[in-house]
């Protein structure tokens, strides 16, 4: 699942004109890639649509959204 999440994030970053060079599972999405709240919401909605996962927005914490690994773990807990 991590590879699919990473590929989708690359698409979202590219659509916003943000570079995805060096994106890893442990990259800080906010610091390293300038992801803002709008881009994050867009990314999470795309995750739901394309991967068929349910994102419980109310239960997500900042720590769940910092990296792709932490996001994957949060999705698996849900």
Output the six-digit token pair for 56: 């419980």
**pLDDT tens digits, residue range 65-74?**
999 999 999 9
| pLDDT of 57 over the 90 cut | no
Please give the full DSSP string across 19-52, using - where no structure is assigned. Answer: --TT--TT--TTTTT---HHHHHHHHHHHHHHH-
**pLDDT tens digits, residue range 8-55?**
999 988 988 888 889 999 999 999 888 888 889 999 999 999 999 889
Give CATH for domain 2-77. 1.10.1200.10
| pLDDT of 78 over the 80 cut | no
**What pLDDT is stored for residue 33 in this prediction?**
86
**What pLDDT is stored for residue 6 in this prediction?**
94
């Amino acid at each position: 699942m991590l590879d699919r999440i990473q590929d989708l994030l690359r698409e979202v970053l590219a659509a916003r004109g943000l570079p995805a060079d060096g994106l890893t599972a442990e990259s800080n999405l906010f610091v390293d890639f300038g992801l803002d709240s709008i881009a994050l919401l867009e990314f999470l909605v795309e995750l739901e649509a394309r991967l068929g996962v349910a994102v419980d927005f109310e239960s997500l914490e900042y720590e769940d959204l910092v990296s792709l690994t932490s996001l994957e773990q949060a999705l698996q807990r849900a």
